[in-house]
Amino acid sequence: MSRRIFKAIFLISVFICLVTMVVTAFVLFHFMEKRTQTELKEALELITPGVEEEGNDYLEDLEASHTDRRITWINADGRVLYDNQADAAHMDNHSSREEFQEAVSSGSGSSIRHSDTMMVETIYYAERLPDGTVLRMSSDQDSIWAIFMSLTEPAVVMFMFIVLLSLFLALRVSQSILKPLNELNLEHPENNDTYEELRPLLNKIRTQQDVIREQQRTEMERAEAFRREYTANISHELKTPLTSISGFAELMMDGSVPKSMVKEFSRTIYDEASRLITLVNDIIRLSQLDDRNVEYEWTTVDLYALARENIRVLQAAADRKNVRIYLQGEKSEIRGVHRVLTDVVYNLIDNAIKYNRENGTVEVSVMPESDGRAVCLKVKDTGIGIPEKDLDRIFERFYRVDKSHSKAVGGTGLGLSIVKHGAALHHAKIETSSAVGKGTTIAIHFPDNFINDCTDGN
Ligand code: ADP
């Protein structure tokens, strides 16, 4: 900015000086021309009475005293009667000369003619005498070009001086303009004693700072509330199985458990410990997804193969409930993080089995969407469904529609949160539809900005 202001001031000053020099030269030159014309007129008026009375004799007497000016006496037909600088007998007829014609028609006339080289110009003034003859006087002077040429040297010196002066002034002015700007206190825009024109801008900055501070405060409060709730939830979720493990272990330690019950107690401790491990693993997965500094390994992932693999892993769980899993679609590759996508697919199919009815079905489909670039992963079950009012909340951490049911089927309340964050990492859009008692369909569209309806209602 400093350079721009400096450059602008410098160029403007040099330009103004140059224009001023040229305009002044033209004005002065024009003034000189006018003054010469006036002098010619006055001189001509002085000699006119003598010429009227004595004619050539008078003019010849004058010759000695007016050598710097040319005097020509012209007959009414344009023939030269007398000229103090040339032989009148050999001169051209002057009837076509501008000042002569003007003088004949209106009593007096003037004109300016340039030499062939344009370096000299001749100023003429002519007057008609009572006998119809015309008396003319002329004077040579340097043309404006000749003046410019002769002034070249001083003009260059002057120009250099102007350039230096402009440089100096431009530097000083730009510095003094920018000083208050550089010293602006943007931390506290209201504490500035600066240009009045900047006041609206400073006010705006202050207002925006207030808004940002308020937003930051709200954001921090929200984050803090979220953190507290999340911590409380985690503590609660950890505490329940730990209490149970500790209680059963204590009973067994006391030896107060009959031998026949030891196996059952041990199973309970094992189940609760497994739940704890699953919960802790989910918490770790989520905190990794929350961490913006984690660097993922992005590769090409075939979602169809991934779905097939997860179905294989979950087949035993499905068999226990007599749930049949169908997979349809085709090889569908996206750019993604294999580990995160595995968690997404696993949790969706796991839920579809967990919340299904006996002898129900799960349909998994992986297909490219219409333009061949985006992929839609859809998991549809014939399970208990989700009430409309809960649909928006099931992706929240630890939110369960039916807590006891979730616990009974080994849920942690974090599965869909992992799905949500995993999808967000891949800029994918989630669509959920469900009908209580009929089933649920969750579809994920990869990548973002490509929305195609691949859910079909339940
Ligand atoms: P959980 O570990 O309890 O399954 P999730 O985050 O995976 O936790 O899901 C949150 C809640 O959403 C579940 O407790 C359940 O009530 C509901 N839910 C998720 N998937 C389904 C589904 N396919 N059918 C019915 N309810 C579901």
Residue 340's CB: how many other CB atoms inside 10 A? 23
What atom of ligand 1 comes closest to residue 416's alpha carbon? Answer: 6
The CB-based long-range contact list for 194-201 (8 Å cut-off, 24+ gap) reads: none
Write the single-letter amino acid at 78: G
Any atom of ligand 1 within 6 Å of the Cβ of 350: no
What atom of ligand 1 comes closest to residue 414's alpha carbon? Answer: 6
The CA distance from 166 to 174, in Å, is: 12
Which of 215, 224, 218, 266 has its CA nearest to residue 245?
Answer: 266
| For residue 180, cis peptide bond before it (omega within 30 degrees of 0) | no
The pick from 274, 389, 400, 403 for probing ligand 1's pocket by mutation, whose C-beta has the most ligand atoms within 8 angstroms, reads 400
Helix/strand/coil percentages in the chain, nearest 5:
60, 15, 25
Residue of minimum CA distance from atom 8 in ligand 1? 413
Distant-in-sequence, close-in-space partners of 300: CB < 8 Å, separation ≥ 6: 333, 334, 335
Residue of minimum CA distance from atom 20 in ligand 1? 351
Which of 353, 291, 287 has its CA nearest to residue 326?
Answer: 353
203 CA from centroid of ligand 1 (Å): 50
Residue of minimum CA distance from atom 25 in ligand 1? 385
201-223 residues labelled b (16+ CB within 10 A) or e (exposed) = ebeeeeeeeeeeeeeeeeeeeee
Any atom of ligand 1 within 6 Å of the Cβ of 431: no
Any atom of ligand 1 within 6 Å of the Cβ of 416: yes
For the whole model, what pTM was predicted? 0.62
Q: pLDDT tens per residue, the chain (458 residues)?
A: 767 877 887 788 788 888 888 888 888 888 988 888 898 898 888 888 888 888 888 888 777 665 578 899 999 999 999 888 888 888 889 999 999 999 999 999 999 988 767 788 899 999 999 999 999 999 888 877 777 778 788 888 888 888 888 888 888 888 888 888 888 888 888 888 888 888 889 899 999 999 999 999 999 999 999 999 999 999 999 998 999 999 999 999 988 888 899 999 999 999 999 999 999 999 999 999 998 888 999 999 999 999 999 999 999 999 999 999 999 999 999 999 999 999 999 999 999 999 999 999 999 999 987 765 689 999 999 999 999 999 999 999 999 999 888 888 888 999 999 999 999 999 999 999 999 999 999 999 997 443 333 444 33
Any atom of ligand 1 within 6 Å of the Cβ of 400: yes
277 CA from centroid of ligand 1 (Å): 19
What atom of ligand 1 comes closest to residue 399's alpha carbon? Answer: 10
Any atom of ligand 1 within 6 Å of the Cβ of 360: no
Residue 238's CB: how many other CB atoms inside 10 A? 15
397 CA from centroid of ligand 1 (Å): 11
223 CA from centroid of ligand 1 (Å): 24
The CA distance from 11 to 105, in Å, is: 52
Any atom of ligand 1 within 6 Å of the Cβ of 386: yes
Query: Which contiguous run of DSSP H or E holds residue 304?
Result: helix 303-320
Any atom of ligand 1 within 6 Å of the Cβ of 411: yes
The CA distance from 390 to 429, in Å, is: 19
Which of 37, 38, 84 has its CA nearest to residue 64?
Answer: 84
Distant-in-sequence, close-in-space partners of 31: CB < 8 Å, separation ≥ 6: none
Which sign, positive or negative, has the C-alpha torsion 10, 12, 14, 16?
negative
Residue 409: predicted pLDDT = 86
Phi-psi region of 288 (alpha: psi -120 to 50; beta: other; left: phi over 0): alpha
Residue of minimum CA distance from atom 14 in ligand 1? 400
Any atom of ligand 1 within 6 Å of the Cβ of 439: no
The CA distance from 71 to 136, in Å, is: 6
The CA distance from 40 to 29, in Å, is: 17
In order of 62, 205, 272, 330, the CA distances from 248 in angstroms are 147, 64, 10, 50
314 CA from centroid of ligand 1 (Å): 16
CA angle 327, 331, 335 (to 5 degrees): 115
Decide the pairing of beta strands 324-329 and 361-368: parallel
What atom of ligand 1 comes closest to residue 412's alpha carbon? Answer: 2
Write the single-letter amino acid at 9: I
Any atom of ligand 1 within 6 Å of the Cβ of 381: yes
The length of the chain in residues reads 458
Name the CA dihedral angle for 254, 259, 261, 263, rounded to a multiple of 10 degrees.
100
Contact 376, 369 (CB under 8 A): yes
The CA distance from 434 to 385, in Å, is: 6
Which of 422, 12, 208 has its CA nearest to residue 442?
Answer: 422
Residue of minimum CA distance from atom 12 in ligand 1? 394
In order of 102, 338, 371, 447, 452, the CA distances from 368 in angstroms are 96, 18, 8, 11, 10
246 CA from centroid of ligand 1 (Å): 28
